[in-house]
Amino acid sequence: SLEIYRDKLVADDPKIKPLYSKMLRDLPFELTVDSLKISDAKIIYEEREKQENTGGSINFKNMNVAISNVSNTYDSPKNTNIKITADFMDKTPISAEWTFDVQNKNDQFIFKAEVGPLAANRMNNFIQPNLKVKLEGHINKTYFTIDGNNKISKTDLKINYSDFKITVLQKDGKKKNEFLSAITDLFISKNSKKDGDYYREGTAQATRDKTKSVFNFLWISVKNALIKTML
């Protein structure tokens, strides 16, 4: 298992964080691993953003990872391929596939994922202390594809959800901010059904902050697409 704690009150390291394709490409030695498997792993990520609390956490359990072509010796267009299955927040099944060509100097990659049913309030343990918002409702199914490189990404997202509500909280993280919550209700669609289709679809771009990790890049890519889709 792996436990990660991030205190965002501490200044970030400003050094550039390369994507995995560049890290492999720039190794000072040749590396060729045909396949690698990780079984039944667990990751807990805890983050603190506000001085007044200790932050919140998310988890991935029962994680299985199959990686093929971990190498800097293969020629293009042979790709490194990473397949992942896990249970997010204990109950929600996730499957993902991540592919990239180590020899591509633009660090082009594709990240596809499918997320199963998620009760929105299960995210409150992480979101409420850090973002001062509370979620309600059901996210029934989500699909997204991120097409990115070392500078930008484009994300296509498709989501089915119902009875969704965002409550904006006051600074104490407990009492409801009536004004901001009312404005949020005006802009966020409660259900995904639109024009007879039970899925909403959207596309958004994101610009990579090269001082942050690849996982930050994946997150802002999905976040931008979610906002574009649900408004």
pLDDT tens digits for range 21-78? 999 999 999 999 999 999 999 999 998 887 777 788 999 999 999 999 999 999 999 9
Please state, in angstroms and rounded to a whole number, the distance separating the CA atoms of residues 23 and 100. Answer: 12
Mean per-residue pLDDT for 104-132? 93
Q: Parse the chain into domains and list their residue ranges.
A: 2-230
Q: What integer pLDDT is reported at residue 196 of this predicted model?
A: 66
Question: Is the peptide bond preceding residue 117 cis, with omega within 30 degrees of 0?
Answer: no
Mean per-residue pLDDT for 106-119? 98
Q: What is the pLDDT of residues 131-142, one digit of tens each?
A: 788 999 999 999
* Structure-block tokens of residue 128: 């409420």
Mean per-residue pLDDT for 85-104? 97
Q: What integer pLDDT is reported at residue 195 of this predicted model?
A: 66
Q: Which residue has the higher pLDDT, 181 or 163?
A: 163
Please state, in angstroms and rounded to a whole number, the distance separating the CA atoms of residues 19 and 149. Answer: 9
Mean per-residue pLDDT for 101-118? 98
Does residue 124 sit in helix, strand or coil? helix
Does residue 222 sit in helix, strand or coil? helix
CB-based contact 189:137 (threshold 8 Å): no
Model confidence, pTM: 0.90
- Parallel, antiparallel, or unpaired for β 32-48 and 2-7? parallel
* Structure-block tokens of residue 60: 């991935």
